[in-house]
Each structure stands twice: as C-alpha cells, then as structure tokens.
Structure 1
Amino acid sequence: MIASLQKKFILISAISIFVVFSGIFLLLVFFSNQQLDRTMDTLADAISASDGVFPEFDPSQHSRPFPYDDIINEETRFSTRFFTVWVDEQGRITHINIDSVSSIAEEQVEDYARAALSENTQRGWVSDYRYRVVETGSGSTLVFVNGTMNRSMSGRLLLTAFLVLLCSACLILALIVVISKRVVRPVAESYDKQKQFITDANHELKTPLTLILSNLDIVETDVGKNEWLDDIRSESERMGLLINQMVTLCRMDESDAPLALADVDLSVVLGDTVSEFEPLAAERQKKLNSVIEPGVHCRGDEALLRRLAAILLDNAVKYCDAGGEIRVNLHARRHPVLTVENTYAEVDDLELDRLFDRFYRADKARTFTGSFGIGLSIAQSIARKHKGSLTAYKKDGAIGFKAELKEH
C-alpha cells in the first residue's frame, strides 16, 4: 500500500510538472509568434507608408514605446529584405520592385502576390514573407518582408527555452523521486501503527470473548437458555466476526503477503458460490439468475476468489429489494469479468465512490443488518491482489459490481 501511495505521489507530481511546463512553453510559443508578427508588421507598415520603399530613418519620427523602439534604426534598411508589388483594381500586376531582395525571381513574386490576394486579408504569411496589403485609389500595394532571420532567431530561442524547461522538469522529478519516501513516511508510520493496533486488539479481545462464550455455556447449563443470554452470545459472536474481518482486511493490505497461486476455474468457483446462495435468496423471496460462461480460468488464489464471489453475492442478497432480482454474469474478454447486479429502489441516493470505504453504510441510522461495511473493502483488496479492479455502477434501478481479474 505504501509503495502504491509513493508511486501515485510521483505520478501526480510528474503529471503536474508536465502540465505546468507545457503551459509555460505554449505561452512562450504564443507570445514569441505574436512578437514576431508585430515586428514584421512594423517593418511592413513603414515600407507601405513610404510608397513601397524603405523610409529614411528619422529619430524624431521613431520615438515608439517598448518593444518597438529598437525595431527601426539607422541600420534597419540595410538588414531588411523586402519587395513590393502594385496591382490595379482588376487584380493585375502593374509594377514590381525587387531592388531590396536578390533571392527571388519575378515569377515567384507574382505567385506570392496572387497567394496573398487570394487570402483576402490585410496581413499574413506567404512562405517566409510577411505581407501587408494597402488599398489605394488605383488598386492595391502589397509589401512582402522577409522574415527568415527573425523566424530562425525565434526558433532558436524557443528551442533553448524547451531544453531549459525539459532539463528543469527532469531535475525536479528526480528530486521528487528522492524525497517521495520522506513525504510518505508519516503515512507509512501511521499505517504501521494501525496494523499493529489491529493485531494487538485482535489478541487482546479474543481472550475475553472466548471467556465470555465459555462462561455462557456454563451459565446455560445451570439456568437454561433465555433471551438475555442469547443476546449476549449474539453480540459476542458479532464482535468476534468484526475482529476477524478487521484482521483479514489488514492482512489483505499487506502488499508483500504471498498468494497461493494456481490455475483456478472461475466458472466452477462461481457456480458453487451461486448454488450456496440460491436457498438463501429463495428464502428471502428474491430471484437469483446467473449466466456463467464455461471454462473461464484465472491464475490466482482460489480461496480468495471464492471469498470475493461470496462477498458480492452476500451483499446482493442483503440489499436486493423484496421480490427483486439478482443477476450474476461471468464471461471472458481480455481478462475474466464478473458482474453482480441487484435491484435497489434507492440506488439514486447511493454514493458509489464511498461504497468501498471501510465501515461505510448507506443506512445513515446504521441499523444492524448483519454487515459491518467491511465486506466490499475486502472484496476490492482481493481484486487488487489479483492485479484487477472492483467498481460499482448504477443501471436501470439496480446497483452492480464489476470485478475484472488479471492473470499474474
């Protein structure tokens, strides 16, 4: 149990780190792209405002607030690669200016211009060029600014940020793995004390219970049976049953407790269990129907698997509505699957996530029905011992339990 808790702590921490660092990286990508677009748009706006040529730098005209005050300076015109296309009102290209770029032919310029016009947007990207479309009285002016260098710098910065975040995440996760034992240590100590308490209580309580039952036998021999002695015997036996179930549950939680593994015919096990509960169900006027697929096998502990089936059937018989129906099904998919359902009028009021809590009873008054609220916890522990699971579900006025058993 403690090892499982430690693994869950590490897993939750790893997922949290992944989510947070992924969010940080995505924000960096978003703002980096926004900054890149704004930088390129600033250059395109300056060129389009100067009739398709790069304007002469005038410091008095470029007192922009951060982050644009460093975009345009005396050297910007020599490092900016761009070309301009003029088109008439019919969309025909009338003039091209490629004096500031040498790596593109006029045919490509025409293709880029047509692609930009087909987008029907004022700004956008065509290949490595950021464009701006400006409407004029005689048509449109298209300015294309090369963003290869800016994209390359942005990509390198993002790669650096990704590597830094990745290394940081790995370092943090390694530290979490190292300190995880220390984190769960208080829980482990509390759990060990709880197990020791249950073991000690078992030894301390069994002796007086044995004496009480022995003295009852002696008293009954002298005075005969009566309702008060019967009550004492009933409550003593109930307490003995509770102690045994608590010890069983404590032992089930010990992950290192070995199982008597063997090939188990679950079809036979469940068939025997159903046969045992049929008279009880009939006595309480409840229908017990079963569909058991033959030849369903599982490698596990036969005694524990029989107990799992008995707990589920006992629970179904106890809580099935008067005149209701209990349905048992066993079939094999990738793994054996056992389902036990029973009609229950108040199923909508049940808290399914609490049914496996120890000592939990749906009956708030906690009237005694022969159950302590431990059985389902034991059944779930048995399923987990067999690397499987036990879950509860609601279905058309009925409650069901589904046990999936994986082979060792």
Structure 2
Amino acid sequence: MIKQLQKKFVLIAMCSFLAVIVCIVGGINIAVTIHENEATENILNILSDNDGKFPKNNNHTEPKDFNKRKPFFDFSMMTEETPFETRFFTVMVDSDNNIIQLDTGHIAAVSPDEAESIALEMLNSGSNSGSYGSYKYRITEQSYGKLIVFVDRSNQLKTLSTYLIWSCSIGAISLLIVFILVSLLSRRAIKPVIENMEKQKQFITDAGHEIKTPLAIISANADVLELDTGKSEWIDSIRNQTKRLNSLVKSLLELSKVDEGKSTLNMCMFSISDTIEHAVEDFQPIAKKLDKTLVSEITPQLSIKGDSESITRLTGILIDNALKYSDKNGTIKVTLTRNSRGTILAVSNTGCTLKQNELSRLFDRFYRADSSRSRETGGYGIGLSLAKAIVEAHKGKISAKVDDGIITFKAIL
C-alpha cells in the first residue's frame, strides 16, 4: 500500500512537471517560430512593394547618433543590416509568363537557370504564396505582369531546429533531475500519511486481538446459559451476533496482515480448476436454502502459481457476495477461463441495481452501496476489500461491471 501511494505521488508530481515543461518549451518554440515567420513575411512585403529591392534608408547618409538608445523590444524586426543579411532572388514575368528579368545577385546557391525553372513551377502551381524547400515566395501583380520574390530561410530553419533540440534536451534533463529528486524525497513527503496508515493498521490489529477474548467469553457464557435455562431466541441471537463479530474481526485481521505484508502466502503451483470447483460445491447447499441457482463453467486442468487457501477465500467472498445481493430466485454464475492476459475468475449475479459510477467504490473498505440491504444480509463492506487485497497479492487485477442488471466481478490472476 505504501509503495503504491509512493508511486502515485511520484507519478502525479512528474505528470504535473511534464505538463509545465511541455507548456514552457512548446510555448517558447511556437513564439520563436511565429517571430521568424513574421520577419520573413515582413521582408517579402518590403521586396514585393519595392520592385524586388530594399528601399534606401536615409540613415545610411545621415550621421548616426550612437548615443540614441533603441527600445529593448524592437517589433519592427528590421535593422540597417537586414538588406545585407537577407539572401533572396527575384523573377519578373510579363502577362504571358515570359521571363523579363532575373536578379540572383543576392544569393549564391541559385543559378539563373534554376531561378527561372523554380519561378515557372511556382507560377504553374496556381498559388500566390507558399514555401519551396527552404525558400518562402510570394507572387504579386505588377504593371508589367508579375513579380516573384524568393527569400532564403535556411539560416532561420537551422536556428529553429537547433533551438528546438536544445530546449527539448534541457527540458528532458530537467525532467530527469526532478524525477530523481521526487523519487528520493517522495517517502519524506508522504511520511505523515504513512504514519497515519501505520497507526490505523496497528489499531486494527490490537483492537482485533483485544476483541477476541470478550467474544470468546460471551460465547462461553451463552453456552452456560443454555445449559441452565434451555434454548431461547435470546441465546440464539447472542450466538449469531458473536459469530458476526468473530467474522468481522477475522476479516479485519486478514486485511491488516495483507496490507502490512505479513500475510504468509504459500506460493506454489496448484490446480485452480479443482479449487474453484470445490468452493462452488461448498456453496451449493446455501444457494438451495436461499432458493437461488448457483451454476459454474470451469475450464478443467488449469493451474496457476499462488496460494490455494487465499484463492479459496477469494472465491468464497465473491460467491457469498453474489448470494447476498442477488435478487429473489436469482442466478449466480461462476466461470473460470484462460486467455492471453492470464487466468480469469468471474462471478456474476442477477438483480443488480447499482450504477456504473458506484462500481469503483465497491472495493473500498466499509463501503456499502445499499446500507439498509447490507444490514439485512449482514454485510460490513470488508469482503470485497479483502478480495482485492488477495488478487493484488497475486499480482493480479480485479474489476466489476454491470450489464442489463447483471453484475460481474472479474479477477485476472
């Protein structure tokens, strides 16, 4: 239980930190990508509006004021060096898509023939803007025909990919460091919860042992009273309540042992088919007495590695629960099969009125979906908790499902 709680704490902490890392890394990379795209779009706008050339800036001829401070955030994304840093080429065509002029003087990676071929391909594509490899292009209508501007984005793409790799790497390293720290400190973080759980377990164990003695005395006194006064409904009531309390104390002690890891399971190979079959036979007289039908479909010669007594106890809990909470003249069905997931023990009964959202709480201790009915049947809400503990001790899973008024408890072992 403590290890499971520790794992859940680590899992929740890591999922939370992972969500934060993803938001930060993803947000920064998206922001940088948008910024780079806007910068490229800005350059395309300038070149398209100025016939494929950068306009001359008056700052080139006027004296520079080096003492003038620029704003910390410059959203114009243009500097005096932008015309010299930008790699681009332009193609002018007439109304019949004939090449009028090529300008590849601002780029070394594209020859005039290649520029012409790329331009004609983009014209035939029917799109006025888009991407071609590492180039972003735009086609604008001019007085002489069309102007096609291509801006090289290879440097920006390399920067973006490098930034993405580094940010993801730093995020992954941060995640690993936090995982190590959370794993080392998780037990300290849940220490108050562990101490509270240990005190509860110790109280259950101590109280259980202390209650055993008074119950034994009450049972012995009831026998003495019966010898002196003869049988009576009051003595029978005392015996019945004593048996119920003994059963409750036994279940609590078993559950406490399983939680503390003190339960001694004799793990060995045994025939689970025979074990389940014998358990069903033991409950047949009880089912007949209650006018209920108990049927079984057990695949023969199935064996598992586990504790046969615990599996018998598990089967008994599930069948007893089905007998208590099935409808009048209801049917209880026990099946044992095997598939790729493991050996499956399923116990179902008719007459279920539970809703699907209540099923997850059935395995909680002392939880009873119908308190009034539980008082009639003598239930305490311990049995299914113990069944879950037995299944988990065998590294298995148990679940409940309702379908058309039939509830099925399925244990995978």
TM-score (norm 1): 0.92
Aligned residue type for 2:410: K
Deviations 1:37-63 (A, max 9, x none): 101111111111110122212459xx9
Q: What's 1:370 paired with?
A: 378
Aligned-partner Cα distance in 2 for 1:216–1:256: 34
- On the 8 A contact 1:85/1:113 being kept in 2, the answer is yes
1:109 pairs with 2:118: no
Structure 1 residue 77, shift from structure 2 partner: 1.4
Structure 2 equivalent of residue 355 of structure 1: 362
Equivalent AA in structure 2 for residue 388 of structure 1: G
Q: 1:97 to 1:250 in 2, by over 3 A?
A: same
C-alpha distance in structure 2 between counterparts of 1:34 and 1:299, whole Å:
59
Residue 259 (structure 1) aligned with residue 273 (structure 2): no
- Whether the 8 Å contact between 1:57 and 1:73 is mirrored in structure 2 is no
Check conservation: 2:267, 2:305, Cα contact below 8 A: yes
* One-letter code aligned to 2:371: K
Say which of 303, 306, 322 aligns to 2:309.
Answer: 303
Question: CA separation in 2, counterparts of 1:27 and 1:117?
Answer: 36
The residue number in structure 1 matching 2:63 is none
Give the 3-state SS of the residue equivalent to 1:351 in structure 2: helix
- 2-side partners of 1:26 and 1:393: how far apart? 40
Residue 136 (structure 1) shift: 2.8
Amino acid of the structure 1 residue aligned with 2:272 = L
Report the number of matched residues. 402
Listed as ranges, the gaps of 5+ residues in structure 1 are none
Question: Tell me, what secondary structure is at the counterpart of 1:140?
Answer: strand
Query: Quick check: 2:86–2:151 contact (8 Å CA) kept in 1?
Result: yes
Q: Give the alignment partner of residue 346 of structure 1, picking from 348, 353, 357.
A: 353
Q: Is 1:68 aligned to residue 64 of structure 2?
A: no
1:16 aligns with 2:16: yes
Check the 8 A contact 2:29/2:163 in 1, yes or no: no
Which one of 370, 377, 389 corresponds to residue 397 of structure 2? 389
- State the alpha-carbon separation in 2 of the partners of residues 315 and 194 from structure 1: 26
Deviations 1:139-186 (A, max 9, x none): 322111111122222333333322322222222222211210111211
What CA distance in whole angstroms lies between the structure 2 residues aligned with 1:287 and 1:91? 88
Is residue 37 from structure 1 mapped to residue 37 from structure 2 by the alignment? yes
Offset of residue 132 of structure 1: 2.0
Query: Secondary structure in 1 aligned to 2:139?
Result: strand
Deviation at 1:283, TM superposition (A): 2.6
Task: Tell me the alpha carbon deviations over residues 197-245 of structure 1, each in whole angstroms, 9 at most, x when there is no partner.
Answer: 1111112211111111111111111111211222222212211211111
Which amino acid counterpart does residue 369 of structure 1 have in structure 2?
Answer: T
The answer as to 2:46 corresponding to 1:46 is: yes
- Bigger shift: residues 348-357 or 108-117: 108-117
Q: CA deviation at 1:28?
A: 2.2
**Mean CA deviation greater in 235-244 or 120-129:** 120-129
Cα distance in structure 2, aligned partners of 1:13 and 1:186: 17
Distance 1:118 1:188 in 2: 72
Q: Kindly provide the amino acid, as one letter, of the partner of residue 19 in structure 2.
A: V
> 1:70-120 deviations in whole A, cap 9, x for unaligned?
x32322211111001223445454432111111112343234334544554
Name stretches of at least 5 consecutive residues in structure 2 with no aligned partner. 61-69
Alpha-carbon deviation of 1:189?
0.8
Give the 3-state SS of the residue equivalent to 1:339 in structure 2.
strand
Are 2:368 and 2:381, in contact at CA under 8 Å, matched by a contact in 1? yes
SS of residue matched to 1:27: helix
What is the CA–CA distance in structure 1 between the aligned matches of 2:407 and 2:202, rounded to whole Å? 36
Contact 1:116 1:124 in 2 (8 A): no
2:239 to 215, 233, 236: 233
3-state SS of 2:371 partner: coil
**Cα distance in 1 for residues equivalent to 2:95 and 2:284:** 90
Name the SS of the counterpart of 2:355 in structure 1.
Answer: helix
Q: Which letter does structure 2 place at the counterpart of 1:240?
A: N
